[in-house]
A = this chain, B = another copy of it.
Amino acid sequence: MLAVEAAGKLLLIDCGLMFPEAHMLGIDLVIPDISVLRERRRDILAILLTHGHEDHIGALPYLLEDLGSPPVYATRLTLGLLRSKLAEHDLDKTADLREVELRKPIALGPFSAEFYRAAHSIVDGAGLILQTPAGQIVHTGDFKLDPTPVDGQPTDLERLAACGDEGTLLLLADSTNVEHEGHTLSERTVGEAFNALLPNCSGKVVVATFSSNIHRIQQVFDAAAAVGRKVLVNGRSMVANIAIARQLGYLHITDDALLDLHGYRAARPEQILLLTTGSQGEPRSALSRMAAADHKQLQIETGDTVILSSKFIPGNEKAISNLINQLYRRGAQVFYETTSEVHVSGHASRDELQTLHSLVKPRYFVPVHGEYRHLVHHAALAREMGTPEDNIFILGNGEPLTLSADGARREERVETGRVFIDGRGVGDLGAPELRDRSHLAHHGVVNVILALNQASGEIIYGPEIFSRGFVPEEDSEAYLAEAAQKVREMLAEHSLDAVSDWEEIRVEVRRTLRRFFNKTIDRRPLILPFILEL
């Protein structure tokens, strides 16, 4: 999410979410912390969305109202995908969604915003050209320079060249693939790979891909039709996105090309192509359950072919690898990124980035979209392409940059960060709860119950100890009885009637058990003593 400010007014560009990293235990989603924008909501003129991927639109349902529900501008498919997300939060009726035409500037207070075509791994992607009082800003969104895109709409190089001629103050550009030499392959090559593979498949064919990649989906349908297979669509988001894309005219599929579950059961394997999600080895996805022979309707059988038409997203490699192994165990032949040309990236490689820089010739450059190291490498590429080192800024989250007639100046960091979503809770979980979860995850929990007579300090009940995720149930009774004995001994040493501070007892109970567990089995569970005074 990026904010552009001029004359006290704000434009926001994209509003994405992050999927949780491994250490964010139990977290469903991560969205940006918009504290600094909340107090400025009256100044927000519009939200501009470059394309419909989760990391660019996914946080909007959570934040749109907090941002004062400004109008949201985007291309038709982007809005279509957003609308279905907003509907899940009952916001689709109230949101002010405005479809844009490419190359048609929109006046927005001190700004004007123009969308231009950007080819990417989703249909109807765009880049942005903003006119501001300080000068022109070009924001590429996510893009590649695919010269032969499936929909015949390549990135608008002509418009980018004009930006260079007009003079561009600032370029912000996608850095994801800056470590990749040469050109990113055209999406069309994936269709060619499908067309080469499918005629040689004898059993059922399963293609797993990202549900947002409408071009890829079109190519799957085309390749299936060419070999006389009909397509069963599986996966909630796949079904939803195909419906949206068909309705909006971005996907050309006849009803006849589709199979329902009934037709699937009646068809022979060589008449079937199953198009599904689950390419990242998500444990509950249909594909993972099929691979584990744990799906009621859908089975993988010897001779079937599975094509993972997707990237191994960092962090998912192990899950994907397990999925592939299980598919092989079922007797399937599996094609995937490492062994076949069944996936291409949606991001520009080095040669394409050089072309971009040479066309736009910006005065200032800010690399965006990528890991920090990608930003560093993209900054180096910009230097090689002639942007002076002092005019290149790597900005972290919350690090503003001011451009004016006096040049560029970094401003003091503003408050930003990540907000965790767990269930219906937005932002209520923080570091302490995640630390507890990590502790529980690695060592389990031990509860100690002890009831004492409030007046005499005499033990009425306990210490009773019970645990989860700590020691196996069959051994726990004897072992925890031994632990309870240690606590009893400790309590006997303290003259309890003299102790008025129950917190002290709690600390001692914890210390006694910690020492005992550490010495006997070298484990460190979360110990929760509970003392009742009756």
Contact = CB atoms under 8 A, between A and B. Distances in A.
Interface of A: 21-22, 25-26, 179, 314-315, 317-318, 321, 324-326, 328-329, 334, 338-339, 371-373, 376, 422-425, 428-430, 432-434, 436-445, 447, 449, 451, 460-461, 464, 466, 468-473, 475, 520-523, 526, 528, 530, 532, 534
Contact of A440 (B423, B468, B472, B534): B468
Nearest to A424: B522
Contact of A441 (B21, B26, B471): B26
B21 A526 contact: no
Given A22-B22, A472-B430, A528 B443 contact: no
Contact of A449 (B25, B317, B469, B532): B532
A472 B429 contact: yes
Given A444-B440, A468-B440, A470-B433, A521 B26 contact: no
Given A26-B441, A434-B469, A445-B526, 10 more contacts: A22-B22, A179-B339, A314-B321, A432-B472, A433-B469, A438-B441, A440-B468, A445-B445, A447-B447, A468-B528
A-B pairs, top 8 by smallest CB distance, nearest first, are A441-B441, A423-B522, A436-B469, A440-B440, A26-B442, A437-B469, A325-B372, A315-B318
A284 to B, nearest CB: 13
Interface centre among A21, A314, A475 (most CB of B within 10 A): A314
A21 B528 contact: no
16 contacts: A22-B318, A25-B469, A179-B339, A314-B321, A325-B372, A329-B372, A425-B523, A430-B472, A436-B468, A437-B441, A440-B440, A440-B469, A449-B532, A451-B451, A451-B534, A532-B532
A26 B432 CA distance: 19
Nearest to A318: B315
A375 to B, nearest CB: 8
Contact of A444 (B324, B328, B437): B437
B424 A373 contact: no
Contact of A318 (B314, B339, B441): B314
Contacts of A318: 21-22, 314-315
A424 B521 CA distance: 5
A445 B468 CA distance: 10
Contacts of A373: 321, 324-325, 328, 334
Contacts of A179: 338-339
A438 B528 CA distance: 19
Nearest to A440: B440
B26 A475 contact: no
A443 B26 contact: yes
Contacts of A534: 451, 460-461, 534
Contacts of A444: 26, 433, 436-437, 440
A149 B44 CA distance: 64
A263 B439 CA distance: 39
Contacts of A473: 432-433
Contacts of A461: 451, 532, 534
A425 to B, nearest CB: 5
A421 to B, nearest CB: 10
Q: Which of the listed residues A317, A339, A443, A468 has the most CB atoms from chain B within 10 Å of its own CB?
A: A468
B471 A433 contact: yes
Contacts of A26: 441-444, 469, 523
A444 B447 CA distance: 14
Nearest to A314: B317
Given A25-B442, A433-B444, A441-B441, A468 B329 contact: no
Contacts of A443: 26
